[in-house]
Structure 1
């Protein structure tokens, strides 16, 4: 925070709870850091263009003293990565490299972090299984053999299609986080074993998984083995009942129906949940009451959610710790809240709420902690109620309170 306060780095993105998620730096500061890093034998930026000759090990031995390396090869056809005995971290941009090129990684004997954006199935990736010291692996193709990565802690796979999760990833004691941008599903043999074996168990220390398909009893049984899980993003099917209360450590949960709006009688949620996102889900009054009684819930996002009867009535004492509430394109016509709901709410975001006839409940004007209301492409009633709440907040001395209204008027 000191660097932010001194404007040496800039906040690029914040989380829903207001915490800093991503930062960026000025170009001049970046150039200075690059020069200092290279001078201290810490960082090396390697750029090659299409006019440069193909790269071979013997031509790039000069880079071996650096501990971190960023390589961008432009449009070049090449035969290997730069060689570096002491390189610990490598970011190698493969997006401009023609397919059928051979990418050799085994020369980095002590590499701990490798990120290969843009690598595709057409590239020949050789030797990555020999990088036994890896802690971080980021790729955009199918998984390499994982048996040798005994120290791996963070796995990121950037694909548009689903990846099959082999059993070994669920039993690696060092692995903490798995992120699959295109989604993932559990290997068939693991699912079959979970169903057949009543004493099915997995030893692991996984804390975060996204995005995983959760469709049936086998998937749930495997999830029950992830005792340390804190963050989970998943896609669900058409089952009427989902239970996640066995995930005692879970703090953040995002569920999305894979096939349109999910009709669910009740989703049972962990009591320690702090962040909840529901997408394409039908919610009953009982479901919303269950969510409202989560004692530690701070962030709630409802996207493409259908409220039963298009009505939401909050009860006394609900949402005691909620700080951030977002409603996006929800099927909601009437929203009623009592005077003591949302006592700690700081930010309310309403987007594409085209059916909300009675606007924002008037008691929001009495919430002392409220800092901002954002309205985007909502009904006229929502805009009018937001402006009225602004007046009430200013009347009680909340000079910092803001209302932002954007989008075409309904």
Structure 2
């Protein structure tokens, strides 16, 4: 859907939220280029979501200085980058009041590498195939106010993710999905001082980091279609915490959803207890 060019003259506009049901190439609201002969600063605009192929050039940054929520999609392939069409995503860092950013577009790994983030960001959702997940996580880990991080798609070129002290100081919710190549996650409980919820979807860790069970704020871990090795080691983490805290006082719960072909009589089903629930995906 194409928005009328007159949208750039609506100085009182506060929210643009174009609902896209499911991801599909070509869906989303296309905004025309603003008229060059008249610059209207849209100081009241706070939300711009469901927008396709949004170009965040210097003039756009000037037009939307108070934007708080951005939801963008970039259908197509990385061949666009070869022709200079990078949509100026490095300028997103200059949106100093931005609190929530979501960006999707499979097949756009080179485009995603252009992204930069303002320190005001509290929520970040990226759904793209990312060539180097390590680079994105390094950028996200330095955001002082970030509370929610969701990353879907991508590849760990080193096979590991190693966190360090001082990263993710405010993160409460972490979700990693369809991340290829991640076998080892080296971390300490102090590296995620505020983490409350962890979600892993189709992540093939060789071992679930036991140190996560020592995070005092952690409330839940959810593992969906993860490797058998990671499920078994997550169970071992729960048992260690039960020994330390007692089963009744355990502060967090691990729930596991297995692929349907695992079968209800599989070994992993027998691991279930009060603090470690196991379900079969019926769909």
TM-score range, shorter chain: 0.7 to 0.9
The alpha-carbon distance between structure 1 residues 333 and 362, as it changes in their structure 2 partners (threshold 3 A), is: same
Structure 1: stretches of 5+ with no match in the other structure: 1-162
**Displacement of 1:389 after TM fit?**
2.5
**Displacement of 1:302 after TM fit?**
0.7
User: How far apart, in 2, do the equivalents of 1:404 and 1:217 lie?
Assistant: 40
- Any idea what the Cα deviations from partners look like across 1:203-238, whole Å, max 9, x if unmatched? 3411111111235465x6324421111111101364
Matching of residues 188-337 of structure 1 within 5 Å:
188=33, 190=34, 193=35, 200-214=39-53, 216=55, 218=57, 221-236=59-74, 238=78, 239=81, 242-243=89-90, 244-257=92-105, 259-263=106-110, 264-282=112-130, 283-331=132-180, 332-337=182-187
**Displacement of 1:285 after TM fit?**
2.8
Q: RCO greater where, 1 or 2, for CA within 8 Å and sep 6 or more? A: 2
- Any idea what the Cα deviations from partners look like across 1:80-131, whole Å, max 9, x if unmatched? xxxxxxxxxxxxxxxxxxxxxxxxxxxxxxxxxxxxxxxxxxxxxxxxxxxx
Contact 1:289 1:315 in 2 (8 A): no
**Displacement of 1:352 after TM fit?**
1.6
**Structure with greater strand percent:** 1
Contact 1:224 1:246 in 2 (8 A): no
Q: Secondary structure at the match of 1:301?
A: strand
Structure 2: stretches of 5+ with no match in the other structure: 21-27, 263-267, 269-283
Contact 2:11 2:41 in 1 (8 A): no
The alpha-carbon distance between structure 1 residues 224 and 380, as it changes in their structure 2 partners (threshold 3 A), is: farther
Q: Secondary structure at the match of 1:374?
A: strand
Q: Secondary structure at the match of 1:373?
A: strand
Contact 1:276 1:300 in 2 (8 A): yes
**Displacement of 1:181 after TM fit?**
2.0
**Displacement of 1:300 after TM fit?**
0.5
The alpha-carbon distance between structure 1 residues 265 and 201, as it changes in their structure 2 partners (threshold 3 A), is: same
**Displacement of 1:361 after TM fit?**
1.9
User: How far apart, in 2, do the equivalents of 1:186 and 1:221 lie?
Assistant: 14
Alignment: residue pair count: 238
The residue aligned with 2:280 is: none
User: How far apart, in 2, do the equivalents of 1:164 and 1:201 lie?
Assistant: 20
The alpha-carbon distance between structure 1 residues 276 and 206, as it changes in their structure 2 partners (threshold 3 A), is: same
User: How far apart, in 2, do the equivalents of 1:221 and 1:214 lie?
Assistant: 16
The residue aligned with 2:226 is: 378
Q: CA RMSD in A?
A: 2.5
TM-score (norm 2): 0.75
Structure 1 outlier segments of 4+, above 4 Å? 215-218
**Structure with greater helix percent:** 2
Contact 1:328 1:350 in 2 (8 A): yes
The residue aligned with 1:15 is: none
